[in-house]
Amino acid sequence: MSQSSDLRTSGPRRSHNATTGTHTPHGVPGWLVALLAVASGMTVANLYYAQPLLSSLRDVFHITTATAGILITLTQVGYVIGMVFLVPLGDRLEKRSLITALLTVTTLALVAAGLATGFPMLLVASLISGGTSVVAQILVPFAASLAPDHARGRIVGRVMSGLLTGILLSRTLSSLVSSVAGWRVVYLGSAVLMALLAVALRFALPKHAPTTTVPYHHVLRSTVTLVRTHPVLLRRGLYQAAMFGAFSAFWTTISYVLTGPHFHYSAVGVGIFALVGAAGAAVAPLAGHWADRKLARPMTGLAFAVAAAAFAVAGFGQHSIVLLALAAILIDMAVQTTLILGQHTIYQLDPSARARLNSAFIATFFLGGARGSQLGSIAYRAAGWGAVSILGAVLPLVALLYWFTERRVVERKTVPCSV
């Protein structure tokens, strides 16, 4: 099937921008890459705003702590549903219109959340906003499609740095805003941002025609077929599942350590600590550069080793804020490195199915992250921070052992998916 003629002729794809008359070294204007990075970070942040708000919501709606926790679960469930059923539409529909429509629904859902008169209303609104916040995972393959082959890793890396920064800063922003203006302003403020983002992307993004015209249910079925057709897709998904599981175990339980008897941090203090982890986002462009230089395999193995070592530092330094901060930075750097290298690898499998490839990849490792968060909480309750550190080190070490089974040859070019 043919690629979009709009992309072959649009300014952002060429080395010379016909709109501005300026040359762009990687074929995509810097302002557009920055916009995609900011947009990815802003949309994915919607998944994490509620985490620091649970105690406030518990008191406002007069519910138990366990019931309040359902809000996080349903938001994540919504995201998984969106990954499975909405992201593949990026190959079936014109992407700019799809992104605008999803952001419009996100805006309305966030308004409903901010005006919620009861907890069930907040749950439904969060489920919907979580599902449509997968816009971030449509923008990343969009950026990959705009980029020329020789610079794809660097451009995807820059966009991913924005996405990962959004994940890391969302808790801090939510804590600060809620402490000053209340929890409702967190949701309503994000709704305003989503509305502005929808308008900005509608005017800034080039048209990108669908890469397939088959019925929607065939698109969904072909996503499963891609996993069977491309073993490297499953391998990379499992790599990232282990890494994201370790990442989630760390960030789910570190608040218990920081608010505990040794540090006595407030909720805002925990949010500020998350700013330290955001420094790890600086590795994203470097990871993209390594991918472009064909270093995906060795740097993946190194990232596994760094992650395991970081948890060792975290375990031995549980009473030192400096060592915990160092561990947080190293963990985030390692996870971001494997994520970007993995996406760069899978995007080369079939250019006509990048949205579906990304859907399968993200859904696989997202399940690993959910499991890591759960196991981290269980480990902490059972044996404290030391058990979490062991769990966090074991996951990347298992991935490293699996990495050693990877064939040290460049895979032959695969045949594009038939749909």
pLDDT at position 11 is: 39
Rounded to an integer, the average pLDDT of 259-279 is 79
Query: Does 400 or 270 have the greater pLDDT score?
Result: 400
Residue 401: pLDDT band by 50, 70, 90 thresholds? very high
Q: With contact defined as beta carbons under 8 Å apart, do 267 and 413 qualify?
A: no
Q: Which of 206, 160, 138 is nearest to 354 (CA)?
A: 138
| End-to-end C-alpha distance for the chain, whole angstroms | 8
Q: With contact defined as beta carbons under 8 Å apart, do 160 and 343 qualify?
A: yes
Rounded to an integer, the average pLDDT of 11-30 is 48
Work out the mean pLDDT of the chain and round it to a whole number.
Answer: 82
CATH fourth-level superfamily of 213-419: MFS general substrate transporter like domains (1.20.1250.20)
pLDDT at position 29 is: 81
Domain positions in the chain are 1-211, 213-419
Out of 232-246, 261-275, 392-406, least confident range: 261-275
User: What residue spans of 230-353 are helical by DSSP H?
Assistant: 231-258, 267-278, 283-292, 296-316, 321-347
pLDDT at position 66 is: 66
Secondary-structure class of domain 1-211 per CATH: mainly alpha
Q: Which of 352, 364, 136 is nearest to 237 (CA)?
A: 364
pLDDT at position 83 is: 83
pLDDT at position 100 is: 94
Q: In angstroms, rounded to a whole number, what is the distance separating the alpha carbons of residues 3 and 413?
A: 18
Q: With contact defined as beta carbons under 8 Å apart, do 244 and 392 qualify?
A: no
| 395, pLDDT greater than 90 | yes
Helix H or strand E encompassing 130: helix 119-132
Query: Does 313 or 146 have the greater pLDDT score?
Result: 313
Residue 65: pLDDT band by 50, 70, 90 thresholds? low
Matching CATH topology for 1-211 and 213-419?
yes
pLDDT one-digit tens code per residue, 273-315: 877 777 777 777 788 888 888 899 999 999 999 999 999 999 9
- Reading the block at residue 29, the tokens are 């204007």
| 2, pLDDT greater than 70 | no
